[in-house]
Amino acid sequence: MLLTKQNAFLGTAFILCCGIIAPIPISGQVPVFREPMSSQFPDYSKTAGTMSSSTVINNANPLGDFTTFGSSKPAYPTINPSAWIIEKYYRNPNASPEEQRRLADEDLRAYEVQKKQQEELSRDINEAFKEYEIHYELPTHSSPNKKYFYQAFEEFRQMLSGAKPLDIKRAVFLQEHSFDTTLQYQGFDRQLQQIVSVIGLKMKQDRILPTDNVGKIMILFKYMADTIKVYSPHQEKNITTYPKTYDFDDFWGKVDYRKMFVSKLIRTGSGQCHSLPLLFLILSQEIKAEAYLSFAPNHSFIKFTDKRGTWHNIELTNGMMASDHFMVESGFIKAEAIQSRIFLSPVSRKETIVQCLNDLALSYVKKYGYDSFVKRCTDLALAYYPNSITAHQINANYFKTLSNFVVYQYSVKKINKAQFNGDQQAQTIITSAKGAAKKIENLGYSEMPAEAYEAWLKSIQRESYKQQSSKEIKLLGGMIEKR
């Protein structure tokens, strides 16, 4: 997908589709603003004022004559009703008891009035201070449904730390359920087990040894890319499954984010280069076959090795075998990207779980925008997968959004540039945003326009690639050990 600047939204947000990063809008988080320029900072005084780590105050006193900053003397009198009453008593010692009570009541009423005035004055002062307060965390939405994201994050943390087994099926479900809580794990697992049953019947029908990894991979490939017909003794009927097709309708999930879900692929039989490889990996896990996720620009696919240790690529978007040469032919894979292993390298099972965690963060962004939860996700992701390009992109966008939010506050509150330059917290955030963007560049990532991606993906339909794919499938078929 294409990385584009969204002028109508705060920062640039990305969403994973086909192992890619693509733009989605952010709304309802912070006001719309433009990139900050030095001329946007008003200069009310040639001498910069002072500020704390959380508050900046303009040189001009925003509170008028109510108070003086830096003075220990209050700008209003301290009221002591008891002293007033005693003073009244001694000032008029000849007053009758009734007169003394009347005077005392008047003084108490006067005290209550002045006390209320002082409270209102204090509120006004506090509000004036708040007008000049800078927030260094992004605003967040309060929603009871956020708990599903928090619960999923904790389960991801346990998987990655070793407290729970690494489970791709469970990881995929956790991310999808957090976004769409109507999904139920029992139903998700039941549908997958039905597929596993068909694959098992096909393996028996083709006499594939359960220990033959190439044989199991090729049966999975056939299930995904071809029509399968098997007989089920348990159900006493023939079962036919059909190829999983590419869904060209909203395949980036811009209108309906669930279009990228594996649960949608299982239900409809169509998906895209995000859901198709994930389903393949889930099924591989279920039948104990070794296969790996891998990435190209805007794309994800499957890698596995044959009996000679040679790597092969399965391109599930059109059901063909594809070489690394085909991937590189897109023109958007730099040598640095191969060297840093962000593209074309097999991804371990733990790193695949991290990629599902990245999906969780992107689902959260789609629903609630960027906030501290997204940063928690990227911190955990990068701890276990330091070169995850998706995690680095989410991290960069988090800091970009946060730095723009800080700059926006300075601009709209008309605080002078000298104070902004002296704000260490603000400068640290901006430095982090620049560093995160530089990290992506250093990893060798280059932006691939959407039209270039679509043209490259269609190029595999060329006759030469089809012939090469057929040869590779035939070669692998010859390696399968049968009973």
SS3 state at 290: coil
List all residues 6 or more positions away from 55 whose beta carbon is below 8 Å from its beta carbon. Answer: 129, 132, 133, 134
Residue 3, pLDDT > 90, answer no
What pairs with residue 231 in β-bridges?
238
Return the closest-CA partner of residue 398 out of 6, 3, 10: 10
Highest mean pLDDT, choosing among 16-30, 245-259, 309-323, 428-442: 428-442
| Helix or strand holding residue 141 (H, E) | none
Residue 204, pLDDT > 80, answer yes
Instruction: Return d(Cα 26, Cα 35) in angstroms, integer.
Output: 16
Residue 260, pLDDT > 80, answer yes
- In the predicted model, what is the mean pLDDT of residues 80-88? 45
For residue range 122-156, what is the model confidence (pLDDT) as tens digits? Answer: 676 556 545 668 899 998 888 899 999 999 999 99
Instruction: Return d(Cα 152, Cα 169) in angstroms, integer.
Output: 13
> Contact at 8 Å (CB) between 388 and 354?
yes
Residue 359, pLDDT > 60, answer yes
- pLDDT value, residue 122: 67
- pLDDT value, residue 196: 97
- In the predicted model, what is the mean pLDDT of residues 150-163? 98
The pTM of the full predicted model, rounded to 2 decimals, is 0.75
Place of tokens 């049966």: 219
- pLDDT value, residue 289: 97
Instruction: Return d(Cα 381, Cα 357) in angstroms, integer.
Output: 7
Residue 432, pLDDT > 80, answer yes
- pLDDT value, residue 269: 95
CA atoms within 13 A on the CB side of 160: 22
Q: Output DSSP code: residue 416.
A: -
According to DSSP H, which parts of 184-306 are helical?
Answer: 185-205, 213-225, 262-268, 275-287
SS3 state at 49: coil
Query: Which percentage of the chain shows pLDDT scores above 70?
Result: 78
- pLDDT value, residue 186: 97
In this structure, the number of other CB atoms found within 10 A of the CB of residue 205 comes to 13
Instruction: Return d(Cα 93, Cα 370) in angstroms, integer.
Output: 70
What pairs with residue 315 in β-bridges?
320
Mean pLDDT lowest among 12-16, 93-97, 117-121, 191-195: 12-16
- pLDDT value, residue 128: 53
Mean pLDDT lowest among 57-66, 146-155, 445-454, 468-477: 57-66
Return the closest-CA partner of residue 477 out of 196, 219, 292: 219
Residue 37, pLDDT > 90, answer no
Confidence of residue 93 (pLDDT cuts 50, 70, 90): low
